[in-house]
Amino acid sequence: GQSLEQPSEVTAVEGAIVQINCTYQTSGFYGLSWYQQHDGGAPTFLSYNALDGLEETGRFSSFLSRSDSYGYLLLQELQMKDSASYFCAVRDLLGRDDKIIFGKGTRLHILP
């Protein structure tokens, strides 16, 4: 089966750095994505890792270790607007059955 584990909530201080971890178990792993979702809004894409290592996009970075079935999202210089839910998602590709499976999400609370 497929499963993803991530913390349900994380709290950090404005200006600080926070890391949100994700472990996964899939049958046809093809990549790990991260999405941000504000209350009442739709998920928006943040990053994607197909290969091991670190991908950096501005204040956000994402890391993947396929051998450990593990990844994380790193948010730097936290701003109040970063308060949102963050979902890791795996692309599960078996033949033509291509789909994205989402974790349960991590609610990020930012304190001033």
Partner 1 sequence: DAMVIQNPRYQVTQFGKPVTLSCSQTLNHNVMYWYQQKSSQAPKLLFHYYDKDFNNEADTPDNFQSRRPNTSFCFLDIRSPGLGDAAMYLCATSIPREGQETQYFGPGTRLLVL
Burial class (CB in 10 A: 0-12, 13-18, 19+), 66: middle
- Binding residues for partner 1, total number by CB under 8 A: 27
Q: Smallest distance, Å, CB 15 to partner 1?
A: 27
Interacting residue with partner 1 among 28, 29, 48, 55 (CB under 8 A): 48
- Residue 52 contacts residue 98 (beta carbons within 8 Å): no
Note whether 35 binds partner 1 by CB under 8 A: yes
Dihedral sign of CA atoms 3, 32, 75, 102 in order = negative
Place of tokens 């991530």: 6
Place of tokens 């789909």: 99
Q: Which is nearer to partner 1, 43 or 71 (CB)?
A: 43
Q: How far apart are CA 59 and CA 77, in angstroms?
A: 7
Note whether 44 binds partner 1 by CB under 8 A: yes
Q: How far apart are CA 80 and CA 110, in angstroms?
A: 6
Binding mask 86-105 for partner 1 (x = CB under 8 A): -x-x-x-x--xxxxxxxxxx
Note whether 3 binds partner 1 by CB under 8 A: no
- In the complex, the residues that contact partner 1 under the rule CB under 8 A are 30-31, 33, 35, 41-45, 48, 50-51, 87, 89, 91, 93, 96-105, 107
